[in-house]
A and B are shown apart, each in its own frame.
Chain A
């Protein structure tokens, strides 16, 4: 424990609290129909995004993830305002209201989405890692996906490519134990996803995804190896508190199961550790909570007060070159 300094632990706590508070608010705003479509919340899984983000070098590293992306976007340092405005579909959103909940992007923060097709981001991430190796940037790419995605061919094809081309790729399976409404145990040939790494001659590691310090440790090891051309697979065992998306009635699991996991809450675990280490400070914790609530409140106000995208913007952001349209309607918008 000697390596943990107080500043780091408070930072990890602040990051996780912001994710939790932001997602609670996103859920509320969804209930008020301010946010539409699919909205997949990250509650319960915060330690994974926070742990990795704490060791990444965003000047040269990249992140890709699936559709449960709000927490990862926050962890990458994206503005809560830009994320909330995107959830609202406003033109001030990070993707100008074109992407929504599942498609947060930020080129400056090296956050490459926000992908809605289960597992499709994994080969794309291998390509980002390929470019890093080709250009000898020293950077690595971290790609997150769920326990549902790991059975996609895209995952297996990408692992093989990452290994044969020695790509600086860290693949993180966030096993929240429910692929939508299907228990991972019912659809997996193995009870530990990290052993799938052996099929590709890679190192795999199972980590407690509820313990941010364990995640951080694993991330440090994995990134160091990846930068040397040894891709790594990590299973971070976690649990999502909310439904698959906001429209999920969750009839496939019991309230008791969810409550049981909430006793192993990642924020609670870190706080307990901080108290054991005599680093706890009630006033500081309350100040962090207030800061997260304030940032979220400001994000909502920003989103509420932002303009809807003008209709003509529907013709924008499709081609980098000269735009064109097949059979244009001829109806000026």
Chain B
């Protein structure tokens, strides 16, 4: 067991998969000579050479589409987007090409490609560089979407994504690149489509993915001080969604708080809340609570940007509301 940063765990996954399969190539802006804008690809150019670690021009649509074509004829490209904010320029190639090619060809072509890069609010970056865009990908059949919150999951899910025969979008949490955690030294995979129960509890289920999972753990610790045992679920995979784990937990606790740092409408969080409300209707003791970011573009000012996002206090308040312990608004 080693302490690895989220960044280094991703680096290790890339390194191992590049070594394992010469069909794997990494391309994106600054991934080679600069070692990656967030240093995720550090050292890979020296090890695998410029044929496999490719600096691209700043043309997200172009190199994303190029990756799709290469995947159609047998390569396994890993396309790094410097951030998911810029991936919006490549939306067409993901939604209309990567996700649809297998279907439109009647199953003749696979598109084994990974799209990855940082997602979610960062700090002091204002509206265009600090967005949580999971919904854009999760909406689309034909792709898979994962969102690790810990170094071990970042490692294991990225390896699974690279080996997957279908397109996989990896949402990396920009604020977690430096976060360190235990990662077993021996090789392992984390299967796509399995949630993790991080903390067992019988009074309420707290659910999220990516960076806010860490807020759930803090909120659960706060609630424990008041004798409330919260079960914490990290979805890890957003498409497919591990509804079995989710519903079994809510069936036990009868209460749920769903947290998503995206905007509230048409988000993964609102969808998960809807699914729980539908599937566990008879088992719920309270309406499902939902904590999202405020429905505003991200402001630059630090106090304002923090106020926009889910917080430990907002989650604790939502949990207490679901437990009828207090009305946080009254």
List chain A positions with a Cβ less than 8 A from chain B: 62, 64, 93-99, 103, 105-107, 112-117, 120, 122-132, 134-135, 153-154, 157-158, 160-161, 164-165, 316-321, 324-327
Residue of chain A at shortest CB distance from B27: A130
Instruction: Say how far B52's CB is from chain A's closest CB, in angstroms.
Output: 8
A98–B103 touching, CB < 8 Å = yes
Given A123-B93, A127-B72, also A103-B105 (CB < 8 A):
yes
Answer yes or no: B101 CB below 8 A from chain A CBs. Answer: yes
Q: Which residues of A contact B51 (CB under 8 A)?
A: 134
Query: How far, in angstroms, from A128 to B166 measured CA to CA in the complex?
Result: 17
**Which residues of chain B have a CB within 8 Å of any CB of chain A?**
25, 51, 54, 56-57, 59, 61-75, 77, 92-93, 96-97, 101-110, 112, 141-142, 144, 164-166, 193, 239-241, 271, 275
Let me know if A320 and B105 touch, CB within 8 A.
no
Inter-subunit contact A324/B102 (CB<8 Å): no
Who on chain B is nearest to A116 by CB?
Answer: B96
List A contacts of B97 (CB < 8 A).
115, 117, 120, 124
With a CB–CB cut-off of 8 A, which chain A residues contact B65? Answer: 120, 122-124, 126-127, 154, 157-158
Could you show 25 A-B contacts with beta carbons less than 8 Å apart?
A95-B108, A98-B105, A99-B105, A105-B104, A107-B105, A113-B105, A114-B104, A114-B105, A120-B65, A120-B96, A124-B68, A124-B93, A126-B66, A128-B69, A134-B25, A157-B63, A157-B65, A160-B59, A318-B102, A319-B102, A320-B110, A320-B165, A324-B193, A326-B239, A326-B271
Cβ–Cβ contact B62 & A123, under 8 A: yes
Whether A95 contacts B106 by the Cβ 8 Å rule is yes
- Chain B residues, Cβ within 8 Å of A95: 104-106, 108
Contacts of A130 in B (CB 8 A): 66, 69-70, 75
Q: Contact check, B105 vs A105: say whether CB atoms are below 8 A apart.
A: yes
Q: Once the chains bind, are A117 and B92 in contact (CB under 8 Å)?
A: yes
Report chain A residues within 8 Å CB of B166.
Answer: 319-321
Q: Which single residue of chain B is at the shortest CB-CB distance from A110?
A: B73
Q: How far is the CA of A64 from the CA of B69 in the complex (A)?
A: 10
| Contact assessment for A128 and B70 in the assembled complex, using a CB-CB cutoff below 8 Å | yes
Task: Given A124-B65, A124-B66, A125-B69, output 4 extra A-B contacts at Cβ < 8 Å.
Answer: A105-B108, A130-B70, A161-B62, A317-B103
Given known A-B contacts A130-B66, A131-B75, A324-B193, A123 and B61 have beta carbons under 8 A apart: yes
Asked if residues A318 and B105 are in contact (CB atoms below 8 Å), the reply is: no
Chain B residues with Cβ below 8 Å from A117 are: 92, 96-97
Residues of A within 8 A of B106 (CB): 93-99, 105, 317
Q: Which residue of A125, A157, A158 has the most chain B CB atoms within 10 A of its CB atom?
A: A157
User: B144 to chain A: which residues have CB within 8 Å?
Assistant: 319
| CB-CB nearest in chain A for B108 | A107
Shortest Cβ distance from residue B230 to the other chain A in the assembled complex, whole angstroms = 26
**A residues in contact with B112, CB < 8 Å:** 320
In the bound complex, how far is the Cα of B70 from the Cα of A112, in angstroms?
A: 12
By beta carbon, the residue of chain A nearest B65 is A123
Q: Which residue from chain B places its CB closest to the CB of A107 in the assembled complex? A: B108
Distance A172 CA – B64 CA, assembled complex (angstroms): 21
Which residues of chain B are near A98, meaning CB under 8 Å? 103-106
For B69, what are the chain A residues with a Cβ–Cβ distance below 8 Å? 64, 112, 123-131
Closest to B101 in A: A113
- List residues of chain A with CB within 8 A of the CB of B71: 127
Do residues A105 and B109 form an inter-chain contact, with CB atoms below 8 A? Answer: yes
> In the complex the two chains form, is A131's CB within 8 Å of B93's CB?
no
- Assembly CA distance A93 to B54 (angstroms): 39
Nearest CB of B to A276, in Å: 42
Bound-complex Cα distance A114 to B100 (A): 12
What's the least CB distance linking A32 to chain B, in Å?
Answer: 24
Q: Which residue of B lies closest to A325 (CB)?
A: B141
Chain A residues whose C-beta falls within 8 Å of the C-beta of B142 in the assembled complex:
318-319
Q: By CB atoms of chain B within 10 A, which of A116, A131, A316 has the most?
A: A131
Distance in angstroms from A306 CB to nearest chain B CB is 13
Residues of B within 8 Å of A115, CB to CB, are 97
Instruction: With A107-B109, A321-B166 as known contacts, state yes or no: A112 contacts B72, CB within 8 Å.
Output: yes
| Alpha-carbon gap, A106 to B108, bound state (A) | 7
Which of B59, B74, B241 interacts with A161 by CB under 8 Å?
B59
Residue on A nearest B138 in the bound complex, by CB: A326
- Nearest-neighbour CB distance to chain B for A37, whole angstroms, equals 13
Cross-interface CB contact of A123 among B66, B77, B103, cutoff 8 Å: B66
Q: Which 9 A-B pairs have the closest CB atoms?
A: A127-B69, A123-B65, A157-B62, A96-B106, A105-B105, A317-B107, A320-B165, A124-B69, A95-B106
Partner of B165, one of A99, A113, A122, A321: A321
Per the bound structure, the CA–CA distance linking A307 and B103 in Å amounts to: 19
Smallest CB-CB separation from A105: which chain B residue?
Answer: B105
Chain B residues lying within 8 Å of A154, measured Cβ to Cβ, are 61-62, 65, 92
A125–B271 alpha-carbon span in the complex (Å): 36
Known contacts A124-B65, A161-B56: A317-B102 contact under CB 8 Å: yes
**Complex partner residue of A127 from B66, B92, B103, B110, CB under 8 angstroms:** B66
CB of A326 within 8 A of CB of B241, answer yes
For the complex, what is the distance from the CA of A177 to the CA of B62, rounded to whole Å?
26
Q: How many angstroms between the C-alpha atoms of A134 and B64 in the bound complex?
A: 17
Q: Are A128 and B57 within 8 A (Cβ)?
A: no
Within the complex, the shortest CB–CB distance from B246 to chain A, in Å, comes to 13
Question: Chain B nearest CB: distance from A111 CB in Å?
Answer: 10
A319 to B239, CA, bound (A): 12
Pairwise interchain contact A128-B73, C-beta atoms closer than 8 A: yes
CA distance A115 to B104 in the complex (A): 9
A257 to chain B, nearest CB (A): 33
Give the shortest distance, in Å, between B193 (CB) and chain A (any CB): 7
B315 to chain A, nearest CB (A): 25
* A329–chain B nearest beta-carbon distance, Å: 12
Residue contact A99 to B73, C-beta cutoff 8 Å: no
- Are B61 and A157 in touch, CB under 8 angstroms? yes
Residue on A with the closest CB to B52? A134
Give CA–CA (A98, B141) in the complex, Å.
14
A160 contacts B62, CB within 8 Å? yes
A116 vs B105: C-alpha distance when bound (angstroms) = 13
Tell me how far the C-beta of B244 lies from the nearest C-beta in chain A, rounded to whole angstroms. 12
